[in-house]
Amino acid sequence: MALQAYRHLMRAARIAFEGDVRVLDAARQQIRQGFRDNAALPASDPQVQPAIQHAEEVASFLRTNLVQGKKNGSGAYELRIHKDIERGDNDTVKIGNKTVKIDGKKCSDL
């Protein structure tokens, strides 16, 4: 499972930081170091499973939520949005400070 999490994390970093060699190299180095630090732990250690879960969550975040922006010649930023980026709607932003109900419950109750 640790090898699978390592691979997922490396792939997610490659996708998230594509085109930015400096940041991609730093991310790879950080991933390697994190796994090396825990390499000596036996598989039965209670710290192993939470560490693997954390790696999977970071990989998921990198793949679905991290967007690169690059400043173009006109001073505006161009965003690199790939197929895995999570897209949502802005309905909750448009509501503002109004109370939102979903299935008869307030959002704060969910």
* pLDDT on residue 41: 86
Q: How many domains does the chain have?
A: 1
Does residue 11 lie within any of the structural domains? yes
Q: At what angle do helices 2-16 and 48-65 cross, to 10 degrees?
A: 20
**Global confidence as pTM:** 0.72
3-state secondary structure 62-97: HHHHCCEEEECCCCCEEEECCCCCCCCCCHHHHHCC
Does residue 106 lie within any of the structural domains? no
pLDDT in tens, 23-76: 999 999 999 999 999 888 888 888 889 999 999 999 999 999 998 988 888 989
Range of the domain at 20: 2-95
Does residue 109 lie within any of the structural domains? no
Does residue 104 lie within any of the structural domains? no
Does residue 103 lie within any of the structural domains? no
Q: What percent of the chain has pLDDT over 90?
A: 45
Mean pLDDT of 87-108: 65
Does residue 33 lie within any of the structural domains? yes
Does residue 100 lie within any of the structural domains? no
Q: How far apart are CA 94 and CA 106, in angstroms?
A: 17
Does residue 9 lie within any of the structural domains? yes
Q: How far apart are CA 52 and CA 17, in angstroms?
A: 22
